[in-house]
A = this chain, B = another copy of it.
Amino acid sequence: MKTVGVIGASGAVGREIVRQLELRAFPLEELRLFASEKSLGKTLPFKSESILLEKLDFAALQDLDLAFFCAGSSVSREWIPKAKGFVIDSSSAFRSEFPLIIPEINAHAIGNSRAIASPNCTATVLLMTLFKLHRLFKAKRIVASTYQAASGGGAALLQHLEEETRAHLEGRPHPPLFPFPYAFNVYPHNSSLLPSGYVEEEMKLADETRKILEDPNIQVSATCVRVPVLRAHSISANVEFHRPFRIEEIYEALEGVEGLAVFEDRRLNRFATPAEAVGKNDIFCGRFRIDPSQPNTLEFWAVGDQLLKGAALNAVQIGELLLRG
């Protein structure tokens, strides 16, 4: 890829994509960074350079051999149809149209596509833990509750959480973002509420699970909740399988799965927490236990850095797959 662009480079995911391109020595000749009005003129560091944030326009887009889109769905919807080169979209705009890829799981689904979508961050945490088990025991129904970090709502939400928490501790008033505080509080995910009573975020988890695991029959019921955590998501999942399993088979199955680490020490009653997942490429999973309330059912807990495997790392890994052709 001669020229690579990041659209939405000043956001939480965009900055992390730039960092990953450097860390992983992504082969590119030129990196161009695009941002919205308010960030124009600023620069971001890349290797030894300082790269100026530009405004995206049609001509610039034509120059890009590969464009990472992470500026939200409306920017993706406006610009991706006009792109000439390869596109990797971190937004949810085209997740049902484009191949939706987690490289460890379904790289083959890229086919000849030049435009690829990267999944919802919570779906990635769930599916990295589940895909191997699905292949062995065939998932039937998933009930999941999430513990989602501020970073999933963007850099502004992350900053708000810190500032509101500081104000709370100092007894100062702080203008809230919502009709309730976020400091020391949790709230049901505030994506659009659908007539069914589920929110969009919950339907993403369901739809993306079926698409990535390539099984339209998997049933999913999710409850998505934002917690006052900075940048790693957790999920509690109860999964019914078609086929029976022993708990030892679960641990055996997950041994050596790339990008996944079983993080637990039962003797010490120690399992992964979001703070420990921050900055790590792996998804951490554990607390696997047979749910005795129903046949062939497993409970588990999984945690992952929302900005890494949940977003930027996965997007850059897709870029690496495209390079290989």
Which A residues form the contact surface with B (CB < 8 A)?
Answer: 141, 143, 145, 147, 161-162, 165-166, 169, 179-181, 184-188, 190, 192-193, 196-199, 219-221, 223, 225, 227-230, 234, 236, 238, 247, 266, 268-271, 273-276, 287-294, 297, 299, 301
Contacts and interface: CB of A to CB of B under 8 A. Distances in A.
A247 B141 CA distance: 21
Contacts of A169: 162, 165-166, 169
A247 B197 contact: yes
A292 to B, nearest CB: 7
Contact of A185 (B186, B199, B223, B229): B229
27 contacts: A141-B294, A143-B143, A147-B147, A147-B225, A166-B169, A179-B268, A185-B273, A185-B275, A186-B273, A187-B273, A188-B271, A192-B269, A193-B266, A196-B289, A197-B266, A197-B287, A197-B288, A197-B299, A221-B238, A221-B293, A221-B297, A221-B299, A223-B299, A223-B301, A225-B236, A227-B227, A238-B238
Contact of A193 (B187, B199, B219, B269): B269
Given A162-B169, A169-B169, A221-B297, A230 B184 contact: yes
Nearest to A219: B293
Nearest to A162: B169
Give the number of copies in the complex: 2
Given A186-B229, A193-B266, A236 B223 contact: yes
A289 B236 contact: no
Nearest to A149: B184
A186 B162 CA distance: 16
Given A141-B293, A186-B229, A188-B301, 17 more contacts: A145-B236, A184-B228, A184-B230, A185-B273, A185-B274, A185-B275, A188-B271, A188-B273, A192-B269, A196-B292, A198-B289, A199-B269, A219-B293, A220-B293, A221-B292, A223-B236, A223-B301
A197 B236 CA distance: 14
